[in-house]
Amino acid sequence: MGQTLTEKLLAEHLVEGELDTGEEIGIEIDQVLLQDTTGTMAWLQFEALGLDEVETEIAAQYCDHQSYQFDFRNTDDHAYLKSATGKFGAYFSRPGNGVCHQVHHERFARPGQTLLGSDSHTPTQGGIGMLSIGAGGLDVASAMGGSPYYLETPEVVNVRLTGDLPEWATGKDVVLELLRRLTVKGGVGKVFEYTGPGVETLPVSERCAIANMGTELGATSSVFPTDDVTREYMEKLGRPEDFTAVGPDPNATYDDRIEIDLSTVEPLVATPSMPDLVVPVSELAGEPVDQVIVGSCTNGAYEDLRAFCDTLGDEVVHEDVHAIVQPASKQASELLARDGTVAKTMAAGVNWSEATCGACCGVGHVPGSDSTSVRTFNRNFEGRSGISDDNVYLVSPQVAAAAAVEGAFVDPRDYGTDRGIDDPGYPEPDRFDGSNRDLIAPPEGDVELQKGPNIGTVPVNDELTDDVAGDVLLRVGDDVTTDHIMPASSDILMYRSNVAKIAEFTLTRIDESFPERALAADGGFVVAGENYGQGSSREHAALCPMYLGVDAVIAKSFARIHEANLVNFGLLPLTFADPDDYEALEAGNRLRLTGLRESIARDEDETELTVVDETTGEEIPVILDVTERERKYLLDGGRLAHVRASQ
């Protein structure tokens, strides 16, 4: 039987287990990527695990989320990261050099290899034939120290592309079309593998935009085969020797199949406030726009910025619009500065920022109240932009440019016809030959760790007790994101290395009193609907509830990375045996679980536990679906506690 590309990549890196869908495997990791807001905790855990040297072929630490350094704490975090990379053997990318995924793509990504990153959009490198997966910082730190990365063997879904994109349609629209069809839960437990004659019509930048937003589908990863398009692209990157041909066997069998005829894709928009609320841009035509931002790890590459600038043509930004370009790499802006594009668009009213995540995670350019912001980003979760009742729309660079000129949504096809502007296509430079000065290789000799006063230690949970009792501290609905659990705006990001402080913000987007109540209660439960913890890989969304004393989350279902993070910090991720029981567990009810240690120590695929609701007298069956390895972590109080207990 033929193998899928995903199976081949997994098989080549398999060090534990067997490739059976749903079964846990351990894979070897070739490259690791970290960003600043998850990286500090990852390196602190690297230290706490007693590791002293990076074992992967490449590890690279980027300073991208807090690159503006609003506070000395951000700058201290960067100094710690630089010292840790120097001491343990990783590359250090200075603040302003760009977003981890884009810079990693330009400098290191290699087809056929595995990449683990402490950021949920790590799968971006699937666009270049790399098996890349996002994870919590502790898992990334462990992999960096040479441990396998553990995951459930995913289902592999074949997305077969035929045809050719029509004018003004882009890779962004392809993935928005998938989100429209499948929703933000559609990819959980799956890898999306792209094949078919449509693949070769897509340049690498478009493939990466699609792979990037596979994360919004909840997918474990997304992957494209490599071909002559990839080969030529890697030559332009100046790394032709890193090219390898990878692809599925012609007779590969998949768990599921989706067809997309690219010729039917049209310019689309994700409307507030979920990436799957997708409509054609033509439906919004005429709606006024206040802010336009181009950038992020989805559409901040040279090709995206160039497409935005070419769509502007000789037009100028509408006087009611604030238009910002936020490049995903300094190289992209350097190349565009070199050929005069930056100067030309500055004169047309565009504001160029340093290369950063910036507004994408609510750092800077917060929209005004009751205003409309149009962004080329990947997420528009409510409040993520920094204002709670925001109206953020997600679009391609072409749609963004047309809106910036028009001052309102406009179908780029009409915009092009009316103003005599041609579809820019996906313009690549002859060579990606910007300076590499901001990427620093690990120095020879010993480096001393530098820890500012805000850099705390990693809290470690106590071992699991046999009985756990507490109140339902909070009940939340479906699709609660990690941005709800632990927001990422600049006032909060500066505390990512200080758990005691950042814990004060836990779940405050939903209930301001949560941290205080949880701490006072010293134990308790969070009850949730479907897909709890979707979005980011930030382990603070598990670490902080643990710090506040939360024992378990009972949900209808979990997002993959968040569930793994809960286990890593010793919180029980329980699912309702009957989702209708969600209604019974009201906030304030007193719950009890007994005989936990014996039940969890059992070697079985799923353990059924009974939650006794002492307020109503009801007994609610719940499921703990974890692996043998995870059971050990849970018993000891999490992964770090387990490593300590085993030493």
Binding site residues, ligand MIC, CB under 6 A:
37-38, 65, 119-121, 361, 488, 535-538
Among 584, 592, 581, CA closest to 523: 592
Give 278's contacts (C-beta < 8 A, 6+ positions apart): 176, 177, 179, 180, 268, 269, 270, 271
Interface mask toward ligand SF4 for 321-360; x: CB under 6 A: ------------------------------------x--x
Among 8, 10, 3, CA closest to 26: 10
Whole-angstrom distance, CA of residue 555 vs CA of residue 576: 6
Whole-angstrom distance, CA of residue 625 vs CA of residue 425: 47
- Cis peptide upstream of residue 142 (ω within 30 degrees of 0): no
Binds 408: which of ligand MIC, ligand SF4, none (CB < 5-8 Å by kind)? none
Q: Which of 73, 121, 365, 384 binds ligand SF4 (CB under 6 A)?
A: 121
* Smallest separation (angstroms) from ligand MIC to the CB of 118: 7
Q: What is the DSSP string of 223-272?
A: E----HHHHHHHHHTT-GGG-------TTB--SEEEEEEGGG---EEEPT
* Smallest separation (angstroms) from ligand MIC to the CB of 136: 9
Whole-angstrom distance, CA of residue 541 vs CA of residue 531: 14
3-state secondary structure of 638: coil
Residue 417 burial (CB < 10 Å; 0-12/13-18/19+)? Answer: exposed
Q: Of 38 and 311, which CB lies nearer to ligand SF4 in the complex structure?
A: 38
3-state secondary structure of 136: coil
Q: How many CB atoms lie within 10 A of CB 523?
A: 16
Among 10, 221, 225, CA closest to 135: 221
Contact status: 561 vs ligand SF4 (CB under 6 A) = no
Total binding residues toward ligand SF4, as defined by CB under 6 A? 11
* Smallest separation (angstroms) from ligand MIC to the CB of 547: 17
Among 624, 494, 506, CA closest to 73: 494
CA 105 to chain centre: 15
Whole-angstrom distance, CA of residue 23 vs CA of residue 30: 22
| Pairing mode, strands 31-34 and 58-62 | parallel
Footprint on residues 243-302 left by ligand SF4 (CB under 6 A): 296-297
Q: Of 129 and 535, which CB lies nearer to ligand SF4 in the complex structure?
A: 535
Binds 99: which of ligand MIC, ligand SF4, none (CB < 5-8 Å by kind)? ligand SF4
3-state secondary structure of 427: coil
Tokens found for residue 598: 């014996």
Binds 296: which of ligand MIC, ligand SF4, none (CB < 5-8 Å by kind)? ligand SF4
Interface mask toward ligand SF4 for 96-115; x: CB under 6 A: ---x----------------
Q: Of 489 and 575, which CB lies nearer to ligand SF4 in the complex structure?
A: 489
* Smallest separation (angstroms) from ligand MIC to the CB of 127: 17
* Smallest separation (angstroms) from ligand SF4 to the CB of 310: 22
Binds 394: which of ligand MIC, ligand SF4, none (CB < 5-8 Å by kind)? none
Interface mask toward ligand SF4 for 368-407; x: CB under 6 A: ---------xx-----------------------------
Binds 37: which of ligand SF4, ligand MIC, none (CB < 5-8 Å by kind)? ligand MIC
Binds 211: which of ligand MIC, ligand SF4, none (CB < 5-8 Å by kind)? none
Footprint on residues 54-93 left by ligand SF4 (CB under 6 A): 65
CA dihedral defined by 539, 540, 541, 544, rounded to 10 degrees? 130
Q: What is the DSSP string of 1-38?
A: -BPPHHHHHHHHHEEES---TTSEEEE--SEEEE-HHH
Q: Of 8 and 375, which CB lies nearer to ligand SF4 in the complex structure?
A: 375
Give 64's contacts (C-beta < 8 A, 6+ positions apart): 35, 36, 93, 95, 97, 98, 99, 100, 103, 355, 356, 357
Q: What are phi and psi of 292, to 5 degrees?
A: -130, 125
Q: Of 377 and 525, which CB lies nearer to ligand SF4 in the complex structure?
A: 377
Q: With the C-alpha atoms ordered 387, 494, 136, 568, is the resulting torsion angle positive or negative? A: negative
Question: What value, to the nearest 5°, has the Cα angle with vertex 366 and ends 363 and 368?
Answer: 170
* Smallest separation (angstroms) from ligand MIC to the CB of 423: 29
Contact status: 540 vs ligand SF4 (CB under 6 A) = no
Q: Of 121 and 172, which CB lies nearer to ligand MIC in the complex structure?
A: 121
Q: Of 35 and 396, which CB lies nearer to ligand MIC in the complex structure?
A: 35
Q: Of 541 and 555, which CB lies nearer to ligand MIC in the complex structure?
A: 541
Q: Of 74 and 378, which CB lies nearer to ligand SF4 in the complex structure?
A: 378
* Smallest separation (angstroms) from ligand MIC to the CB of 645: 29
Footprint on residues 505-524 left by ligand SF4 (CB under 6 A): none
Q: Of 4 and 329, which CB lies nearer to ligand SF4 in the complex structure?
A: 329
* Smallest separation (angstroms) from ligand MIC to the CB of 4: 26
What residue type is 126 in one-letter code? Answer: G
Interface mask toward ligand SF4 for 153-192; x: CB under 6 A: ----------------------------------------
* Smallest separation (angstroms) from ligand MIC to the CB of 362: 9
- Contacting positions for ligand SF4 (CB under 6 A): 65, 99, 119, 121, 296-297, 357, 360-361, 377-378
